[in-house]
Chains A and B, each alone.
Chain A
Amino acid sequence: MEMVLPFVIGSLYAMAIYMLLRRSLVKLLIGLGLLSHASNLLIFTASGLTRFKAPVIPMTAEQLQSPHADPLPQALILTAIVISFGVTAFALALAYRAYRSVNTDDLDQMKSTDA
């Protein structure tokens, strides 16, 4: 797994950037979604892929028995997923409103604010 995931993350980043550079508004949003997935997987991988016990103290013991998996990266990822969910929902609504008011989803047409 440790050998596979870096490639997965790399291709996710590559796809995300490819999508971000497209002119279509919808593809831009897909790119942003992929970007956050890639970052989440990166946290997961970089903090060590381990197949150990869950970090729960058993009824019979006083202390956590090592080896155990690190729960923190998963908590971080969970937080990040929730945030990116909210942000993506907002971005979708924004894209729809922008499409309605500019009447195109071509980003090249959206430069009236650039002077």
Chain B
Amino acid sequence: MMNRFLILPIVVPLLTAVLCLLFFRKPRAQRWIGVSGAGLLLGVSLWLLQVVWQQGIQTVQVGNWQAPFGITLVADLFSAVMVVLAGVLGVAVAIYSWESIDAQRQAFGYYPLMHFLLMGVCGAFLTGDLFNLYVWFEVMLMASFVLLALGGERGQMEGAIKYVTLNLLSSAIFLAALGLLYGLAGTLNMADLAQKFASTASAPSNAIVTALSMLFLAAFGIKAAVFPLFFWLPASYHTPPVAVTALFSGLLTKVGVYSLIRVFTLIFVQDTVYTHTLLLVIAGLTMITGVLGAVAQNEMRRLLSFHIISQIGYPLMGLGIFTPLGLAAAVYFVFHVSIAKSTLFLISGVIARLRGVYDLKKLGGLYKKEAWLAILFLIAALSLAGLPPSSGFFAKLSLVLAGLQQAQYLIVAVSLGVSLLTLFSMVKIWNEAFWKEKPTVEDETKFALAQNWSWILPILFLVGVTIVLSFGIGPIFRLMSQVGNQLMNPQLYIQAVLGGGG
């Protein structure tokens, strides 16, 4: 299906950013434009999801150059779901930034950068061409570099150096892999690649393709922060303002996961015994190292950063299991965890606004002061840990089910053990920040949560999404099963891009 409006999720953030730049000296106007642009993006993404759901995979041949020669934009259900995720987080973070980002950062182009980041993310989700994916990665990275360093605090500088270095390393690996792949197959269109590798006549030997797939695994693995390539993440994610961290945690690593799922379901499926078993091993080790790093932390943002790593393991587990149910669970998990994790980051920002610190040792007594905040935290935290009836429970249940069906008992055991440790560290935040007595009587900040809607509204919104994900599990999981089916039948994708002959 041709549908030129498919380009809207890329154009809307671009126009928003440009409009913001036109009002560069008027931060007030930028805020309004930034928030309404994010709202528009959410609307467009929901519309796209609905169109893809009803009419099947949508494509655009940019500039009317037919695939595989031109750049193709493709929206299958997986892409559409991820674009919706970008829209939801965009809205929440745009509102949260209203007051939490200080005037100086806003004056230096915070909102345009945020929208350029969203544009890069949506572009990466929608492209059907591997080189174009590289370009979108760079758009996204460039915006994230500046967002991370904006403000110029010492910690931010140190974190940014590490973040920039490792992400550029990953880009170089990606680029090298692209060059070798082009030399091998003569095309970089994903559907065309899948078709070439699937047909026995034109396929190069499996060993070469598998070796090449490892380069892609390393490149995307760094972006997704999997074991053992995650060290840049806990060194940098806690340095910028918390709104930026929430946006990064919800979207950037997820783009890495998206790319891994895309290439390892569409293109590199020759030797699944080797590649997907390796993915399972990586998934298990990522979960364990991430959660063990988290339990050792006392600083809220660092603790949550390690949980990002740990939770990356779950979608990889779904990918490694490689059944429709496993992939459906993986996509559902990505959606749920991005929402839950961003909520927790936003709440940690509110706590720091109330008490001035992120250190759990110095916090306490927040339940007495802000009981509502505590309840919101509890919903998000228990959802992350996977207690019924939260969205995390259904995500993990379906992953475990998929694992048991394929007799992958070890990874199932690991994932359940890691869930327990996740619960442990969530309870630790609860005990330390909300439940225990306030350690010292310092002067409270004069900050009343009820009157500062821009701090609390996005949290309410994200918790609302979590609740919808939990109690709307029936229809939502039907959608996710459809996503899994599409991912396991690459023929549909190939036909949509290359036409009926595929």
Contacts and interface: CB of A to CB of B under 8 A. Distances in A.
A40 B169 contact: no
B424 interface: no
A48 B186 CA distance: 10
Nearest to A80: B175
Contact of B154 (A32, A73, A102, A107): A102
A58 interface: no
A39 B154 contact: no
Contacts of A20: 165, 169
A31 B152 CA distance: 24
A46 B183 contact: yes
Contact of A94 (B138, B149, B169, B234): B149
Contacts of B157: 94, 97-98, 101-102
Contact of A35 (B159, B162, B172, B184): B172
A35 B158 contact: no
Contacts of A110: 158, 161
B178 A43 contact: yes
> Interface on chain A toward B: helix, strand, loop, or mixed SS?
helix
Interface stretch (B41-49, B235-243, B319-327): B235-243
B131 A76 contact: yes
B155 A112 contact: yes
A12 to B, nearest CB: 11
Contact of B168 (A35, A40, A97, A101): A35
Contacts of A86: 142
A113 to B, nearest CB: 5
A83 B138 contact: yes
A115 B302 contact: yes
Chain A, interface size category, equals 35 or more
B161 A95 contact: yes
B182 interface: yes
B401 interface: no
A32 B168 contact: yes
B146 interface: yes
Contacts of B142: 86-87, 90
B182 A72 contact: yes
A43 B175 contact: yes
Nearest to B69: A72
Nearest to B168: A32
Interface in B167-224: 168-169, 171-172, 175-176, 178-180, 182-184
Contact of B175 (A36, A91, A107, A112): A36
A97 B234 CA distance: 21
Nearest to A115: B302
Contacts of A112: 154-155, 158
Contacts of B302: 115
B304 to A, nearest CB: 14
Nearest to A107: B161
Interface string A28-70: 1000100110111011111110000000000000000000000
Contact of A97 (B152, B175, B179): B152
Contacts of B234: 114
B299 interface: yes
B148 to A, nearest CB: 9
**Most chain-A Cβ atoms within 10 A of its Cβ — which of B145, B159, B164, B299?**
B164
A94 to B, nearest CB: 6
B135 A94 contact: no
Given A36-B175, A47-B183, A94-B149, A25 B169 contact: no
19 contacts: A20-B169, A25-B161, A32-B165, A32-B169, A36-B172, A42-B176, A43-B176, A46-B180, A48-B183, A83-B138, A90-B146, A91-B164, A97-B157, A101-B153, A107-B161, A113-B158, A113-B159, A114-B235, A115-B302
Interface of B: 131, 134-135, 138, 141-142, 145-146, 149, 152-155, 157-162, 164-165, 168-169, 171-172, 175-176, 178-180, 182-184, 234-236, 238-239, 297, 299, 302
Given A20-B169, A46-B183, A94-B145, 14 more contacts: A38-B172, A39-B172, A43-B178, A46-B180, A46-B182, A80-B175, A87-B138, A94-B161, A97-B157, A98-B157, A101-B154, A102-B158, A113-B155, A113-B239
